[in-house]
Structure 1
Amino acid sequence: MKRVGFWPLAMLLAGGLHTASFAPLGWWPLQIAALALLAGAVNAATPRQAAVRGFCFSVAWLTSGLWWLYISMHDYGGMPAPLAALAVVVLAAALSLYVAGAMALFAWLRRGRPVPDALGFAACWLLAELARGQFFTGFPWIASGYAHSDGVLAGLAPWIGVYGIGAVAALLAMTLAMGWHAKTRSWRLAMLLVALPIAVQFAPREFTESTGTLRVSLLQPNVAQDLKFDGDRIVGQMAALQAQLQSAQGDLVVTPESVLPIPKDQLDPVYWQQLMAPFRSGVRAALVGTFLGNEQDGYVNSLVGVSAGGERYSYGKRHLLPFGEYVPPGFRWFVDLMQIPLGDQASGRSEAPFVAGGQRLRPLICYEDLFGEHMVDSAVAGADEATMFVNVSNLAWFGRHMVQDQDLQFSRLRSLEFQRPMVRATNTGATAVIDHRGRVTARLPAETAGTLDAEVEGRRGATPYARWLAAFGLWPLWGLGLAGVAGLAAGRAARVSRAAPPRYR
């Protein structure tokens, strides 16, 4: 009984350590070490045991990594505290089924040979992460590859992207786990563990070229979420926004998402004209967050582009957040409990890049920057090729701790994958500038009203990852994962036919 109880507890602890490898702590070696604990646990388990151990690891990882959802549901959504806490755990548990299934599959198919099993474990982990990132609209928050926005594996980003990095980390994790056991040590595993990270450092990393620079002003109003839609304060907020826009000096001025708490069709036309007046002549431009649409057709979380050419540009958010921006079938009661303003929105449509100061800008609203496969068309040559990414967000829903640094880390990985700079304008943080190498070159302090002025270098060209992702989507990674599982299955079938036991347990 003591042995049965040990592993779930150990995996809960390992899952919590896994979260520490992401921002704000950012201890990337801990990602591989924590995953190695899981690898060692499932490498000597039955399929049922492996499923339980994988589930416990993932529940702890995702609950500790998504706890800030409690703030939006309880503090701002009005949901009772026990129900909000339960909702976070239930979400983490549901998403953890992917890892549980993958670990059970590995335990069932493992061949008892170190190198094939290490590759098989990486394949199963890859399939679990792809499934979580794509099924049911996808929710790839803190996918394991994001922990390596810094460190020895970061150089793989322009080649294989975040999911590929996660698979390589899983391969190293299982190699490390096997290295602790004398029965599974081999010179092949030792070479792999040492040679792979070294080889990454020599891989080519520069695939894009400069398109010049653009002076940007990124606004951070710092309006508390519980006051954002307060009718008594809206007039003051809108006046402060107008003053902030008028004082901004950049050739491009960017506001956070939904910086206007009133949909555009309900705004006083005179106020809107005054707000946009600085950008209707000359060479300056602005991207302003608002809601477009109407009550009948639905409202779209949007960015309106304003320049000397007029207001002919708009971008509408396409990838909506479940429960916060759209209501999944059968969950109206749950969304009603949260009392979120504009909690059931319409999806936007894709637009060509917004041109400002000679640069082509690809807008992204909120967590759309998690989905590189949806952004890639603007990172390869063509009519929609962008030289910069622009992310606007309002993370005030989730407090300050952890979520801002996590979201910034995800943006950094996108910049590494596509070698494009990204500028971020947020309500309360993290407002920042990221260069094409994924480095944060400027950032405003969190929960501070201000404007971040910076000069940003645009880039054009395509990384290897962008080229194959644009051509095939994530299917090559699905193919690699399935091929790895098929290799394990073939080995298991041969082993069963010979009635030979595995070399280790």
Structure 2
Amino acid sequence: MKRPGFWPLAMLLAGGLHTASFAPLGWWPLQIAALAGLAWSVREATPRQAAGRGFCFGVGWLASGWWWLYISMHDYGAMPAPLAAAAVVVLAAALSLYLAAAMALFAWRRRGRPVPDALGFAACWLLAELARAQFFTGFPWIASGYAHSDGALAALAPWVGVYGIGAVAALLAMTLALGWHARTRSWALLAAALALPIVAWLAPHEFTEPAGTLRVSLLQPNVPQDLKFDADRIVGQMAALQAQLQSAQGDLVVTPESVLPIPKDQLDPAYWRQLTDPFRSGPRSALIGTFLGNEQDGYVNSVVGVSAAGEGYSYGKRHLLPFGEYVPLGFRWFVELMQIPLGDQANGRSEAPFAAGGQRLRPLICYEDLFGEHMVTSAGDGPEAATMLVNVSNLAWFGRHMVQDQDLQFSRLRALEFQRPMVRATNTGATAVIDHRGRVTARLPAETAGTLDAEVEGRRGVTPYARWLGALGLWPLWLIGLVGWGASRRLHLTGGSPSKYR
């Protein structure tokens, strides 16, 4: 008989093990193994027990997966250390409630038979991930499918996307957990569940085709976050940016997010003119990160496109980060305590691509690359579809460890889902080029000032995932999850006891 504290501690540890399956360690088989531990713990649990174990798993997973939020709140936001640490745990606990509810639903509908229970567990896991991704603006950081940016399940990305991959992994995990109780039937189910990713892996299909190449220069200024808004250093930073921008050789030059510490409307017009002069004539173009707007209408985190056609292009960030970029109702005291400059921003509007060097570029600012459903309109096959994706970020808020590799992993899966390359320009790290197969083909070392020069092949065409996601959003996955959970109660595909495994 297990001691009273055994399962909570075991699930906290399993959640931490789950985090190890993501970058930078990237041990993707651990994702299925850790999830199998959760599946084992709830296979005969009551709904209340299952909820508690799912909650503990979620807290262990999420708190260990985004502990670096502490750095932004304490090191750069001047929040007292105990409060910053508590905030990380509270956020992880709040978002773990989705998983707790999903595990309770699973236990309530459990049949005690391998096939319906494996399907029901996968459906409940899928519903929990979709809820975290979409409710209250969504925060799907380290969703389970991202662990499979490498490995056999990566082949499913252009078909079902990150959440579909996570559901397949959950199906495999429960099948493994049940295998010891009903070996013959459960291992047959495991073989069937493995068939789809193995076939996709052995027979990969490219849904997009080459659309020419573009020489890019990706800037990494490496300005420490605690110095970025230092009034005594701003002039030197801006002079260094001007030199770096003008010495870049690519046909497209990309700066990081908010590379200018002063909003564009407050810049000296002469400085802006000197900064952009190299791109106002000839074939070269630039995407420059800055803030547009004013105090009255609000500031928008933006990139401005500069080319021979002028400065008519701008893209504003549309998906804002709670507490860092907008203030949730009732939490102004918390944001003010963090002392974040421009902590309450306005939403951007445009999502049109930027034309440069024969390519159409879809900008994404910071963690917008987590929301494939919001950018899918740019991954179609029409005349305005993007041929390349461009992410500009400033991850200096969160230090160097873990966060840079995680964000790069998310970009890799976006490239796999839409079979389009993505280039990334960041302030302190994860500046890289990713091809349409999700492979990192070039990367600058972290915390190093430099410019990454590369030739990138654009792609045109549409993947099955992009096609159905663009038409229906994530609703098909919600339907699969709900139908799968409901149907698992009615399935009679195997024999055996209806209440426990044999």
> TM-score w.r.t. structure 1 length?
0.97
The amino acid that maps onto 1:444 is L
Residues 175 and 187 in structure 2, CA contact (< 8 A), matched pair in contact too: no
| Aligned equivalent of 1:474 | 474
| Aligned equivalent of 1:264 | 264
The amino acid that maps onto 2:468 is W
**1:3 partnered with 2:6:** no
Residues 178 and 185 in structure 1, CA contact (< 8 A), matched pair in contact too: no
Residues 168 and 193 in structure 2, CA contact (< 8 A), matched pair in contact too: no
1:133-169 Cα shifts (integer Å, max 9, x gaps): 0000000000000000000100000000000000000
Q: Distance in 2 between matches of 1:184 and 1:75?
A: 54
- Structural mapping, 1:66-85, within 5 Å: 66-85=66-85
| Aligned equivalent of 2:425 | 425
The amino acid that maps onto 2:339 is Q
* Deviation of 1:299 (Å): 0.3
| Aligned equivalent of 2:325 | 325
| Aligned equivalent of 2:306 | 306
| Aligned equivalent of 1:369 | 369
**1:34 partnered with 2:31:** no
Q: RMSD in angstroms over aligned alpha carbons?
A: 1.5
Judged with a 3 Å threshold, the aligned counterparts in structure 2 of structure 1 residues 209 and 491 are, in CA distance, closer, same or farther, namely closer
1:326-357 Cα shifts (integer Å, max 9, x gaps): 00000000001000000000001123100000
| Aligned equivalent of 1:413 | 413
Residues 172 and 190 in structure 2, CA contact (< 8 A), matched pair in contact too: no
The alignment partner of 1:261 has SS state of coil
Q: Distance in 2 between matches of 1:330 and 1:489?
A: 41
Q: Distance in 2 between matches of 1:349 and 1:190?
A: 46
Residues 114 and 184 in structure 1, CA contact (< 8 A), matched pair in contact too: no
| Aligned equivalent of 1:504 | 501
Residues 158 and 205 in structure 1, CA contact (< 8 A), matched pair in contact too: no
- Structural mapping, 1:231-250, within 5 Å: 231-250=231-250
| Aligned equivalent of 2:229 | 229
| Aligned equivalent of 1:340 | 340
| Aligned equivalent of 1:92 | 92
> TM-score w.r.t. structure 2 length?
0.97
Q: Distance in 2 between matches of 1:268 and 1:352?
A: 28
Q: Distance in 2 between matches of 1:245 and 1:187?
A: 58
Q: Distance in 2 between matches of 1:290 and 1:461?
A: 31
Q: Distance in 2 between matches of 1:226 and 1:108?
A: 50
Q: Distance in 2 between matches of 1:303 and 1:290?
A: 6
Residues 285 and 308 in structure 1, CA contact (< 8 A), matched pair in contact too: yes
Runs of 4 or more, structure 1, over 6 Å off, are: none
Q: Distance in 2 between matches of 1:408 and 1:379?
A: 19
Q: Distance in 2 between matches of 1:184 and 1:121?
A: 19
Give the % identical residues: 85
The alignment partner of 1:128 has SS state of helix
- Structural mapping, 1:433-452, within 5 Å: 433-452=433-452
Q: Distance in 1 between matches of 2:359 and 2:288?
A: 17
Judged with a 3 Å threshold, the aligned counterparts in structure 2 of structure 1 residues 182 and 468 are, in CA distance, closer, same or farther, namely closer
Residues 184 and 504 in structure 1, CA contact (< 8 A), matched pair in contact too: no
| Aligned equivalent of 1:123 | 123
Q: Distance in 2 between matches of 1:340 and 1:190?
A: 49
Residues 172 and 194 in structure 2, CA contact (< 8 A), matched pair in contact too: no
Q: Distance in 1 between matches of 2:370 and 2:286?
A: 24
1:426-452 Cα shifts (integer Å, max 9, x gaps): 000110000000000000000000000
Judged with a 3 Å threshold, the aligned counterparts in structure 2 of structure 1 residues 227 and 310 are, in CA distance, closer, same or farther, namely same
The alignment partner of 2:329 has SS state of coil
1:374-396 Cα shifts (integer Å, max 9, x gaps): 01000002243000000000000
Q: Distance in 2 between matches of 1:47 and 1:326?
A: 37
User: How many equivalent residue pairs?
Assistant: 499
Judged with a 3 Å threshold, the aligned counterparts in structure 2 of structure 1 residues 237 and 190 are, in CA distance, closer, same or farther, namely closer
| Aligned equivalent of 2:273 | 273
